[in-house]
Amino acid sequence: MTTKSNKQIIMEFVGSTNKKDWEKALALLDDKVSRDSSTYVLEQISNKEDLLKFHKNEALTFPDLQETILFMVEEDGIVAARINFRGTQLGQMGAYPPSGKVLDADFNCFFKITNGKITKIWVEYDVLNGLVQLGHVRPPMN
């Protein structure tokens, strides 16, 4: 039996969320996985059930959502990834109604892997860019 590399675990996790294969996604997560982001402060995610709920809600908002890993680097059990997010907002997103517009944006994600499971996720993305693309706010003036 071979051990999966940390990058392979991340590729499988992103692939399973793209396919909405929630069982596979759960299998890659530690029970107490946490997700932190300074750009997402509405709820604390501190276990795999909450993380899965977050991803399922995202899939309801963007049913055609696809994330593509642009590149990854690894050091000391941490995988840093630049990921492209592309999907059409057909569902409610917090206070924002469905726009029918496509969000196409890159974000940075860092994953800590321990004993073959994702234990910590840090995500940073440009919320203003997303809200402008979806037509929910006007771009700031120059």
Provide the residue-wise pLDDT of the chain in tens; the chain has 142 residues.
557 899 999 999 999 999 999 999 999 999 999 999 887 655 679 999 999 999 999 999 999 999 999 999 999 989 999 999 999 999 999 899 999 999 999 999 999 999 999 999 999 999 899 999 999 999 877 5
Half-sphere exposure (Cβ direction) of 74: Cα atoms closer than 13 Å: 13
Long-range contacts of residues 91-96, Cβ cutoff 8 Å, at least 24 apart = 91/60, 91/61, 91/62, 91/63, 92/61, 93/61, 93/134, 94/42, 96/131, 96/134, 96/136
Closest CA to 48 of 61, 29, 67, 73: 29
For residue 4, the model assigns a pLDDT of 86
Q: What is the pLDDT of residue 42?
A: 58
Q: What integer pLDDT is reported at residue 142 of this predicted model?
A: 56
Q: From its phi and psi, is residue 4 left (phi > 0), alpha (psi between -120 and 50) or beta?
A: beta
pLDDT (0 to 100) of residue 100:
98
